[in-house]
Amino acid sequence: MQLPEGLIDKVKKFLGDEGIEFFRSCKEEHGTLSPVLKIVENDKIIYWPVEWHEGRQIRDLLLKLDEYKNEDIDTLENLWRALVDQIIE
């Protein structure tokens, strides 16, 4: 998928170093950008689906951009993954 350089830069800025490192660690440790993380806190297990939390933040960013505000969810889903994949390379 050919991604516009300006869009890549916007998402990089949005994620910042911490966000980029978060997704890089997801890919390296879990083999995917959107694992379901298992967080244990005070003897309780919390399941954290990255796709629905951090992925949603990127989809929301894309929806704010004029060129993507009318895109369907499948396109946005593929786009955020492709963008983050390219950013963390």
No. of helices (H) and no. of strands (E), the chain: 3, 2
CA 82 to centroid of chain Cα atoms = 9
**What does the mean pLDDT of the chain come to?**
90
**Tokens at 55, concatenated:** 């992925």
Domain range list for the chain: 5-88
Q: Which amino acid is at 2?
A: Q
Q: How confident is the model at residue 14 (pLDDT cuts 50, 70, 90)?
A: very high
What mean pLDDT comes out for the span 9-35?
91
Q: What is the helix (H) or strand (E) element at residue 52, kind and residue range? A: helix 50-64
pLDDT of residue 5: 84
Kindly report, residue by residue over 37-56, the tens digit of the pLDDT.
888 989 999 888 888 788 88
**Who's near 80: CB < 8 A, 6+ residues apart?**
11, 55, 58, 59, 62
* pLDDT reading at 8 higher than 80: yes
